[in-house]
């Protein structure tokens, strides 16, 4: 988990052409889509994190970032305990197939694998992915654009997204439609677990372009006509790692919302395909 203000966004050109780098360790082929099975997420011409120029900028920005740094995370024990509680709360069984969107150097993808999930990560930064493959030799990581996902539809039990730049926009409709897009990769009964962070100020984080949306905006991150969504739940990763899944609840959310002062909280949505 990022503990500092290092979540950043800036801009410029992708080097890869297909969006998916040929993997040294091939990804499970049953997951990959064919050419005529394309599912591309489109915003139109709006200037958003999915705009081609911005995506190239982001890729270059993160390539440079991962070349010399890493995000800071909680220790593995705390993280695993958080992830176990999160999966239990989301109703995701052991040994599930999990897609980690915007996986960076694969820290969470690796932790999921370690707690018994079949996880795969995707990130637009080739450098991030290469670094991750060096560190986590058994974890499946793909370099690619998560708005032109190379994976088959209906193939994951859960999609996990923690702070991917594709949702770092003030265009709430764009965030909604990206969340809906992600549900397309779920098998029946699967869930998108979307996690963000905010102090609810509506400003950007100090020293970066990461947007801290207001609570009102966050409530509108999902289009409830298109998806079934639970949340936003307000919490804190460390707290959940200590008290388990009850750390993700309406009661705690209401309580934390009333606390004075500005703190950066973790926000969690569970999003499912509409069944009716």
Ligand X SMILES: C[S@@+](CC[C@H](N)C(=O)[O-])C[C@H]1O[C@@H](n2cnc3c(N)ncnc32)[C@H](O)[C@@H]1O
Binding site for ligand X (CB under 6 A): 2, 7, 55, 58, 62, 71, 102-104, 107, 122-125, 128, 145-147, 162-166
C-beta closer to ligand X: residue 96 or 165: 165
Q: How far apart are the first and last CA of the chain?
A: 35
Q: What are phi and psi of 128, to 5 degrees?
A: -60, -45
Helix-then-strand count for the chain, H and E? 8, 7
Q: Which is nearer to ligand X, 11 or 249 (CB)?
A: 11
- Nearest-angstrom CA–CA distance, 125 and 199: 27
Smallest gap, in angstroms, from Cβ of residue 58 to ligand X? 5
Minimum CB distance to ligand X smaller for 171 or for 228: 171
Residue 188 Cα to chain centre, angstroms: 20
Nearer to ligand X, 55 or 97 (CB): 55
- The strands making up 227-235's β-sheet, listed across from edge to edge, are 140-143, 118-123, 97-101, 156-162, 186-198, 265-273, 227-235
How far apart are CB 104 and ligand X at their closest, in Å?
A: 4
Residue number, 163 or 190, with CB nearest to ligand X:
163
Question: Which residue's C-beta sits nearest to ligand X?
Answer: 102
The distance of closest approach from Cβ of residue 186 to ligand X in the complex, given in angstroms and rounded to an integer, is 18
Least separation in angstroms between residue 251's CB and ligand X is 27
Distance of CA 2 to the CA centre of its chain: 13
CB of 228 to ligand X, least distance (A): 24
Q: Which residues contact 32 (CB under 8 A, 6 or more apart)?
A: 150, 151, 152
């Amino acid at each position: 988990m990022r503990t500092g203000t290092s979540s950043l966004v800036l801009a410029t050109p992708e080097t890869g052409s297909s969006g998916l780098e040929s993997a040294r360790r091939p990804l499970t082929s049953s997951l990959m889509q064919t050419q005529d099975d394309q599912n591309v997420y489109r915003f139109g011409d709006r200037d958003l994190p999915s705009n081609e120029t911005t995506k190239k900028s982001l890729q270059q920005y993160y390539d440079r970032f991962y070349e010399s740094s890493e995000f800071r995370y909680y220790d593995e024990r705390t993280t695993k305990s958080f992830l176990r509680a999160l999966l239990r709360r989301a109703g995701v069984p052991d040994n599930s197939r999990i897609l980690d969107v915007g996986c960076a150097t694969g820290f969470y993808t690796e932790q999921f694998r370690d707690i018994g999930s079949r996880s795969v990560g995707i990130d637009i930064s080739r450098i991030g992915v290469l670094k991750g493959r060096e560190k986590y030799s058994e974890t499946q990581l793909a370099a690619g654009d998560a708005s032109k996902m190379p994976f088959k539809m209906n193939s994951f039990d859960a999609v996990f997204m923690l702070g991917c730049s594709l949702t770092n926009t003030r265009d709430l409709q764009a965030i909604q439609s990206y969340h809906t897009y992600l549900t397309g990769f779920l098998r029946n009964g699967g869930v998108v677990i979307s996690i963000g962070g905010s102090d609810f100020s509506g400003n950007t984080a100090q020293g970066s372009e990461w947007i801290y949306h207001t609570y009102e905006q966050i409530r509108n991150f999902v289009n409830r006509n298109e998806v079934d969504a639970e949340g936003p739940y307000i919490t804190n990763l460390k707290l959940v790692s200590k008290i388990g899944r009850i750390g993700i609840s309406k009661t705690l959310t209401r309580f934390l919302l009333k606390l004075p002062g500005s703190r950066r909280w973790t926000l969690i949505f569970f999003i499912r395909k509409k069944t009716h």
